[in-house]
Amino acid sequence: MSPAEAAVKSRSERAARLTRIRRVSRLMKWFVTLFMMLLLATLVLTIAAVYSPESFDAAGEIIELGDFERRLGDIPLEQRMLTMGLLGLAFGILFVICWQVRRLFEFLRQGDFFSPRTLSCFVAIGLWLIAFGILEILIDPIASYLLTLDMPDGQRVFDISLDGGELFFGIVGGLMIVFGWTLREAAAIAEENRQFV
Per residue in 48-92, pLDDT (tens digit) is 998 988 888 887 888 887 677 888 888 899 999 999 999 999 999
Per residue in 86-133, pLDDT (tens digit) is 999 999 999 999 999 999 999 999 988 888 899 999 999 999 999 999
Strands (E), the chain: 62-65, 68-71
Could you give the CA distance from residue 120 to residue 133 in angstroms, rounded to a whole number? 20
Could you give the CA distance from residue 80 to residue 69 in angstroms, rounded to a whole number? 14
DSSP-derived pairing of the beta strands 62-65 and 68-71: antiparallel
pTM for this predicted structure: 0.87
Q: How distant is the alpha carbon of residue 93 from its chain centre?
A: 7
Could you give the CA distance from residue 179 to residue 147 in angstroms, rounded to a whole number? 40
Average pLDDT over residues 164-171: 88
Query: What are residue 163's phi and psi, to 5 degrees?
Result: -120, 5
* Tally of domains within the chain: 1
Reduce the DSSP state of residue 68 to 3 states and report it: strand
- The parent domain of residue 57 ranges over 3-196
- pLDDT for 197 equals 56
Average pLDDT over residues 9-31: 92
Specify whether the CB–CB gap between 144 and 157 falls below 8 A. yes
- The runs of H, that is alpha helices, within 59-115 are 77-109
The number of beta carbons lying within 10 Å of the beta carbon of residue 48 is 13
Of the pLDDT bands very low, low, confident and very high (cuts 50, 70, 90), residue 196 is low
